[in-house]
Chains A and B, each alone.
Chain A
Amino acid sequence: MAKIKYIEHNGNQHEIDVANGLSVMEGAVQNDIPGIDADCGGGMACATCHVYVKEDWFNKLPEKAEGEDDMLDQAYEPSSSSRLSCQIVVSDELNGLVVHLPEKQV
């Protein structure tokens, strides 16, 4: 299990315990955190679970999935710190992870 902090674009923070094996996206959706749409349900077929991860954590995360950057091209305001939260699988090592949500997803 890992404590994940989701910070909305307006600054609202949500700290959630997410079970190992779930994705950071699922952690948000199951806990009704606004700002993550996840339209395709985690199939990496849309870009509506887009989050920003600051450098300190970005480099500690497992590498991007093949095709993840292609989907991120189609996200709202992607940057070099963008990830798809459906592709970040939670493990003990991610305890304390902070993700920032974009202004909007669509």
Chain B
Amino acid sequence: MIDTDVLIVGAGPTGLFCAHQLGIIGLKCEIVDNLDKLGGQCIELYPDKPIYDIPAIPECTGEELTNNLIEQIKPFNFNSHLSDRVQEIKNENDRWIVKTSKGKEFLTTNIIIAGGVGSFEPRKFPTKNCEKFEGKSVLYSIKDKTIFKDKSVVIFGGGDSALDWAIELSKSSKVTLIHRRDEFRGAPSSVEKLKELKKEKKLDVLTKFSIKDVKGNGTLESVEIKGDNGEIKTINTDYVLGFFGLIMQLGPILEWGLNIDKKLIPVNTENFETNKKGIFAIGDICFYPGKLKLILSGFHEGALAARGCFKYSRPNEKYKLEFTTTSKTVKERLGVKE
């Protein structure tokens, strides 16, 4: 069990800057995020898009903002737990026990939820029957590509994941790529490669088709697809892969009793605490009168929530505002020499 002052849920810009504020006031924190990297929506949804409303930074991309924040919190030696998701919480003697989907356990005085719109998960097929085969022959990510050797694989999607895997797996599997329209959003070089392979009959490409159903008794046997023109085809296959990008889901946090309404957690504006003692919510996921869903608001909320955590983690100390420009203690925490 990992013992800490604060567990931050979500490693977007708000969660990362909150870790900075906790470090400045001398609290330990751990960060959990379902993505495999730090940065949240900034890094997953718009790494290349310019942002113009970060104070004192006239222009930066989502990736630059993330990298700068990571640089800024480096002195504080926090731990991040990526590709993992908080699952359940339990209160014990005024502290929280938090379990993750990978089975990690934390004992923490405070939880700060900086979860944005939820954790990123792959979008799945709308077809109900796919659930029966999910994880076995209907897959949304590939962990071991050797399982496809000499098998037939039907891949759905038009982005880089779909294209890259279609090209890669066509070397040793019978691949059919299916996409709902003629244009692919994947890299132009991959689209060229795909056309070449199709010409050489190394793989098959069907456009303006989408999934209708999957069939099989115990094991997957075939996939049914329907065309824009109403045409229905059946393709015999061993595997069906779907690459439709990621969606955001709140998941288990919904069950924590935080009065969530329309995916938002109500908080007070003094320290952004929720209805539960020691659980705070900041950034896009919190709600209060006048709330603005801007990154800069998340920074402010994180700074105040960090002071709220201080009160519970150091009940016998009085919080004193110290400036990074002058405080010797803060400079020591930052690792800067006088």
In the complex, chain B residues 197-225 whose Cβ is within 8 Å of any chain A Cβ: 208, 210
In the complex, chain A residues 45-85 whose Cβ is within 8 Å of any chain B Cβ: 45-48, 69-70, 73-74, 76-80
- Given A69-B181, A73-B180, A76-B126, does the pair A48, B245 have CB atoms closer than 8 Å? no
Say whether B46 contacts A46, CB under 8 Å.
no
B185 within 8 A of A: yes
Which chain B residues lie closer than 8 Å to A76 at the CB level? 123, 126
B158 within 8 A of A: yes
Q: Which residue of the partner chain B has the closest CB to A29?
A: B262
Give the contact stretch, choosing among A8-16, A35-43, A92-100: A35-43
- Given A40-B117, A77-B126, does the pair A106, B45 have CB atoms closer than 8 Å? no
Bound-state CA distance A73–B185 (Å) is: 9
- Given A74-B244, A106-B249, does the pair A41, B126 have CB atoms closer than 8 Å? no
Q: Which of A46, A80, A103 contacts B248 (CB 8 A)?
A: A46
Q: Which residue of the partner chain B has the closest CB to A102?
A: B126
Label chain B's interface by main secondary structure.
loop
Q: Which residue of the partner chain A has the closest CB to B179?
A: A73
Which chain A residues lie closer than 8 Å to B118 at the CB level? 39
Say whether B248 contacts A39, CB under 8 Å.
yes
Bound-state CA distance A76–B46 (Å) is: 21
Say whether B228 contacts A39, CB under 8 Å.
no
Most A C-beta atoms less than 10 A away, residue of B49, B123, B157, B263: B123
Which chain B residues lie closer than 8 Å to A40 at the CB level? 41, 45, 117
- Given A73-B157, A76-B126, does the pair A43, B46 have CB atoms closer than 8 Å? yes
B254 within 8 A of A: no
Instruction: Give the distance to chain B from A29, nearest Cβ to Cβ, in Å.
Output: 9
Bound-state CA distance A40–B244 (Å) is: 17
Instruction: Give the distance to chain B from A76, nearest Cβ to Cβ, in Å.
Output: 6
Bound-state CA distance A103–B210 (Å) is: 16
Q: Which of B183, B228, B263 contacts A80 (CB 8 A)?
A: B228
Q: Which residue of the partner chain B has the closest CB to A48?
A: B247
Instruction: Give the distance to chain B from A24, nearest Cβ to Cβ, in Å.
Output: 19
In the complex, chain B residues 173-187 whose Cβ is within 8 Å of any chain A Cβ: 179-181, 183, 185
Which chain B residues lie closer than 8 Å to A43 at the CB level? 45-46
Say whether B123 contacts A74, CB under 8 Å.
yes
Say whether B45 contacts A46, CB under 8 Å.
yes
Q: Which residue of the partner chain A has the closest CB to B229?
A: A80
Which chain B residues lie closer than 8 Å to A48 at the CB level? 247
In the complex, chain B residues 155-176 whose Cβ is within 8 Å of any chain A Cβ: 157-159
Bound-state CA distance A103–B126 (Å) is: 10
Bound-state CA distance A39–B183 (Å) is: 25
Bound-state CA distance A41–B284 (Å) is: 10
Instruction: Give the distance to chain A from B226, nearest Cβ to Cβ, in Å.
Output: 10
Which chain B residues lie closer than 8 Å to A80 at the CB level? 181, 208, 228
B149 within 8 A of A: no
- Given A40-B45, A78-B180, does the pair A46, B247 have CB atoms closer than 8 Å? yes
Which chain A residues lie closer than 8 Å to B41 at the CB level? 40, 45
Bound-state CA distance A40–B246 (Å) is: 13
Which chain B residues lie closer than 8 Å to A39 at the CB level? 117-118, 248, 263
In addition to A76-B126, A79-B228, 16 A-B residue pairs with Cβ atoms within 8 Å of each other are A37-B263, A39-B263, A40-B41, A43-B45, A43-B46, A46-B248, A69-B181, A69-B183, A70-B158, A70-B159, A73-B159, A73-B245, A78-B180, A80-B181, A103-B126, A106-B248
Chain B positions within 8 Å of A, measured between CB atoms, are 41, 45-46, 49, 117-118, 123, 126, 157-159, 179-181, 183, 185, 208, 210, 228, 244-249, 263, 293
Q: What are the 4 A-B residue pairs with the smallest beta carbon separation, nearest first?
A: A74-B245, A70-B185, A45-B45, A39-B117
